[in-house]
């Protein structure tokens, strides 16, 4: 089990606070809702499976898995997101185990789950190898690992690249989240502990923003990482205005001309040896 939690509690506290900013459940429900069911389908999750969703947020993939009759543990570092997911699940008559947990030090036994999944979640844990080791550790031999992560070249990867010059430097040892969207990087993290690796780049069609400015303002209001960057430069109006322009331009570049965008992600599944 990783020791990073004890070694860097400040990083964890900052991550927890960042994801509690704004309204990530609205991002999950209104913008990227299709990703969770896609991941669950790709993993072949079925009734009776014991499933762990790592960095589950408000349950974008956990709830679709539970709807199929799986026994789901939804784990996340941020209790506010878990509470939102719990309320949504209860409104649907579903029972899940919502558990505050660190992706780099999961409180579960070796070989405990039939499937371990993460939908644009584990990619944000700062130490990639520690997280990957935990994903594999708690998965039983023959079980399925399933991941959806934003690619560096896709829209969200480029959004992070746009924000980077305005953001405080990352903590020592922290790796960029979009690296999890690079197939070679993920294969290297998993190593020879898995087999039957299937990786493909897919695109999510996003049609909920009428203008590039609407996209920008939604993320400024709802998406924790974007909110955190703007807070870091709040006392510099020129930098705020510059980032406003760059994010709007990013949205315009990705607009297909009909008010829709396509956001690229990597869908990867593997089987533990």
At residue 8, the pLDDT reads: 59
Q: Is 54 helix (H, G, I), strand (E, B) or coil?
A: strand
For residues 117 and 51, is the Cβ–Cβ distance under 8 A?
yes
Predicted confidence at residue 10, as pLDDT, reads 85
Distance CA 210, CA 255 (A): 10
Per DSSP, helices labelled H in the chain are 4-7, 9-20, 24-30, 35-42, 62-67, 79-91, 128-137, 155-163, 183-190, 212-222, 224-232, 237-254
Tell me, what's the pLDDT at 79?
98
* Per-residue pLDDT, 3: 36
Secondary-structure percent of the chain, ordered helix, strand, coil, rounded to 5: 45, 20, 30
CATH of 9-205+261-272, one of 3.90.79.10, 3.40.50.150, 3.40.50.620, 3.30.420.40: 3.40.50.150
Q: Are 86 and 62 contacting, i.e. CB atoms less than 8 angstroms apart?
A: no
- Neighbouring-strand partners of residue 53: 74, 117
Which three-class secondary structure state does DSSP give residue 5? helix
Rounded CA-CA distance 142/272 in Å is 5
Give the three-class secondary structure for 90: helix
Three-state SS for 255? coil
Give 20's contacts (C-beta < 8 A, 6+ positions apart): 78, 80, 81, 224
According to DSSP, the residues that pair with 266 across neighbouring strands are: 149, 201
Rounded CA separation 22/244 (Å): 17
pLDDT at position 2, please? Answer: 38
How do the pLDDT tens digits run along the chain, 273 residues long?
333 444 456 889 999 999 999 999 999 999 999 999 999 999 999 999 999 999 999 999 999 999 999 999 999 999 999 999 999 999 999 999 999 999 999 999 999 999 999 999 999 999 999 999 999 999 999 999 999 999 999 999 999 999 999 999 998 899 999 999 999 999 999 999 999 999 999 999 999 999 999 999 999 999 999 999 999 999 999 999 999 999 999 999 999 989 899 999 999 999 999
Query: What six digits make up the tokens of 101?
Result: 């947990």
Using an 8 Å Cβ cutoff, are 2 and 105 in contact?
yes
């Amino acid at each position: 089990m990783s020791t990073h939690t004890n070694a860097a509690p400040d990083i964890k506290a900052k991550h927890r606070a960042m994801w509690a900013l704004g309204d990530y459940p609205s991002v999950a429900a209104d913008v990227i809702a299709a990703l969770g069911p896609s991941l669950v389908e790709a993993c072949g999750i079925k009734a009776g499976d014991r499933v762990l969703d790592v960095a589950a947020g408000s349950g974008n993939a956990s709830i679709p898995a539970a709807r199929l009759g799986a026994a789901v543990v939804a784990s996340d570092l941020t209790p506010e997101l878990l509470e939102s997911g719990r309320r949504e699940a209860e409104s649907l008559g579903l029972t899940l185990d919502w558990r505050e947990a660190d992706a780099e030090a999961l409180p579960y036994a070796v070989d405990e789950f039939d499937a371990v999944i993460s939908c644009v979640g584990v990619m944000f844990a700062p130490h990639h190898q520690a997280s990957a080791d935990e994903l594999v550790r708690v998965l039983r031999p023959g079980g399925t690992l399933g991941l959806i992560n934003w690619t560096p070249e896709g829209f969200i990867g480029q959004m992070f690249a746009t924000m980077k010059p305005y953001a405080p430097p990352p903590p020592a040892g922290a790796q960029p989240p979009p690296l999890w969207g690079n197939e070679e990087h993920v294969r290297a993290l998993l190593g020879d502990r898995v087999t039957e690796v299937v990786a493909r780049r897919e695109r999510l069609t996003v049609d909920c923003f009428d203008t590039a400015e609407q996209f920008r303002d939604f993320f400024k209001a709802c998406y924790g990482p974007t909110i955190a960057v703007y807070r870091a430069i709040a006392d510099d109006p020129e930098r705020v205005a510059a980032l406003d322009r760059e994010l709007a331009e990013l949205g315009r570049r990705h607009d297909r001309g009909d008010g829709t965008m396509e956001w690229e992600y990597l869908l990867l599944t593997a089987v533990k040896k």
